[in-house]
Amino acid sequence: MGRDAARGAVLAVYEGVVQDLIDELGRLPNIGPKSAQRIAFHLLQADPVDVRRLADVLVRVKETVRFCELCGNVASAARCRVCLDPRRDPTVLCVVEESKDVVAIERTREFRGRYHVLGGAISPIDGVGPDDLRIRELMTRLADGSVTELILATDPNLEGEATATYLARLVKPLTADGALRITRLASGLPVGGDLEYADEVTLGRAFEGRRSLDV
């Protein structure tokens, strides 16, 4: 209640274009009314050249950046860099929630297959169902049988797990003749960490996913 009151107080103070700017900034993720106000006043006092450059890049990013028609990753052409790269293995497909997950996996330089970006995770609270994600496109990509392993790399939270379960059930008929393998990223202990600092859920998962040690 206190927060709404604070928001109301901020809203009531300014008028016209300054208020429009604060409202627009406040719509951005993780920006509350106080931060929006601070950024707005920073922009008002900034050099016009700097503000123009920011405005230009905002317009340009919307005009030029597109989503890859194949995998849904951000791209500057019809297809993204990964999908255009002939050295990438087309038989392994890694399903992630967002483009930023592609960046995270690319940083490892471990994965040489291709991606499929869903655009989120199933979450009825937020009104996101399977039809709002790029699942139909995924099924189309799997239809020709060239993919032999599907890695489900959605987030290890409830919504990510639910999405992975949903996909696994949907794709299961394609695995009947052994032509497709479905895998899920392992979750467990962080590398370089101490066992005693792991929380119980993580430690429990690590026990579940324990494997034999070959020597």
> Which residues are near other proteins by CB under 8 A?
1-3, 122-125, 127, 129-131, 158-159, 161-162, 165-166, 169, 199-201, 207
What does residue 206 show for φ and ψ, rounded to 5 degrees? -65, -35
- Strand pairing category for 74-75 and 66-67: antiparallel
Is residue 36 within 8 A of residue 26, CB to CB? The reply is yes
C-beta closer to other proteins: residue 84 or 201: 201
- Strand pairing category for 92-96 and 149-152: parallel
Which amino acid type is present at position 186? A
Is residue 60 within 8 A of residue 66, CB to CB? The reply is no
Tokens, residue 120: 């989120």
C-beta closer to other proteins: residue 83 or 121: 121
Please state the closest distance from residue 14 (CB atom) to other proteins, in A.
22
**CA torsion, ordered 163, 168, 171, 177, to nearest 10 deg:** 170
Beta bridge partners of 66: 75
Please state the closest distance from residue 6 (CB atom) to other proteins, in A.
8
C-beta closer to other proteins: residue 29 or 127: 127
CA distance 10 to 210: 53
Please state the closest distance from residue 62 (CB atom) to other proteins, in A.
31
Please state the closest distance from residue 157 (CB atom) to other proteins, in A.
9
Please state the closest distance from residue 134 (CB atom) to other proteins, in A.
16
C-beta closer to other proteins: residue 16 or 124: 124
Is residue 154 within 8 A of residue 134, CB to CB? The reply is no
C-beta closer to other proteins: residue 130 or 145: 130
